[in-house]
Structure 1
Amino acid sequence: MSTTTDLVASYLTALRGRREPGFEQALREHLTEDAICVEAEMIPWGGTWVGIDGFLGVFRALHEALENAPGIDPDGTRSEIGDLMGDDSKVFREFTLTIKGVDGIDYPIPGAETYTITDGRISAIRVYFQDTAYLNEVLSAS
């Protein structure tokens, strides 16, 4: 990767294949072995996830939360890469998670992430949603 923002953009592109064979290898190419992902405790997939297995776990927990949410089309949920800004060791991402209802309505959830880069790989991701109460409301609405 030529820059830290290129690394993060490549990682985010790889996430689109999280249900495909080779996804774990794609994570290993972008993350340190002890990388952490920190999500707000009050959302269904919240917590601190550690290592490659932790990242696989957070994606499973996110998918399960969407699958179990009444009125939500999990396959219609998406997130664009958004705006990336960075320096040698940090990248900031501003994005919108769009959750699609089975009624076709889009529920936009603005968010931001910080990425810590160590030795050319992502060593930490911290995720911040603008309104976790609204996110939980969308997930629990029927």
Structure 2
Amino acid sequence: MATLEKFVTRMRSGDLSGALEMVDEEAVWQEAETLPWSGQWRGPDGFVRLENAISAWAEMIVRDYAVVAAGDVAELRLGLEFVSRKSGRRLPMEVVEHYTVREGRIHGANAFYKDTQAVNDLVKHG
């Protein structure tokens, strides 16, 4: 849990390079198949490409979060707000990410959005 807490703190403070140092080269980030940024993104470079893909459509603001131990994974509960690049419309969204963390390294995450249809609507219509 401490690793994920440190990762999120670095990301929120804008220390992307510090956060990426914590990501294993073999890490896999999995996103819902129905989203524009769907699929698997691999390694630290994949994480950056994923962040850029999301950013092309919307600014993603982390309003609050909690890290919870969940057996073999660490769960990151996010209160996000997506802001459409097209219209400026704001969409609050709950996202839960299950992270695999071993020996202080992040080996990937699987993201679960509360409402992928609402995200798609924001992306498509602004």
Structure 1 contact 98–107 (Cα < 8 Å) conserved: yes
Unaligned runs of at least 5 residues, structure 1: 67-73
Residue number in structure 2 paired with 1:139: 123
Q: Which residues in structure 2 correspond to 1:105-116 (within 5 Å)?
A: 106-116=90-100
Q: 1:49 aligns with which of 41, 53, 56?
A: 41
Structure 1 length as normaliser, TM-score? 0.75
2:29 is the counterpart of 1:37: yes
Between structures 1 and 2, the one with greater strand share: 2
Structure 1 contact 24–52 (Cα < 8 Å) conserved: no
Give the Cα separation in 2 of the matches to 1:48 and 1:65.
18
Q: Rg larger in 1 or in 2?
A: 1
**Structure 1 residues 81 and 134: alpha-carbon distance in aligned structure 2, compared to 1, 3 A threshold:** same
Structure 1 contact 38–47 (Cα < 8 Å) conserved: yes
- 1:113-139 per-position Cα deviation (integer Å, ceiling 9, x unaligned): 101111221112111101101111122
**Alignment: residue pair count:** 125
Q: Which residues in structure 2 correspond to 1:1-142 (within 5 Å)?
A: 5-16=1-12, 23-28=16-21, 30-66=22-58, 74=59, 77-86=60-69, 89-100=72-83, 106-142=90-126
**Structure 1 residues 38 and 45: alpha-carbon distance in aligned structure 2, compared to 1, 3 A threshold:** same
Give the Cα separation in 2 of the matches to 1:94 and 1:23.
20
Give the Cα separation in 2 of the matches to 1:33 and 1:139.
30
% identical equivalent positions: 24
Structure 2 length as normaliser, TM-score? 0.84
**Structure 1 residues 57 and 82: alpha-carbon distance in aligned structure 2, compared to 1, 3 A threshold:** same
CA RMSD after TM alignment: 2.3
- 1:43-70 per-position Cα deviation (integer Å, ceiling 9, x unaligned): 111110011111111111111122xxxx
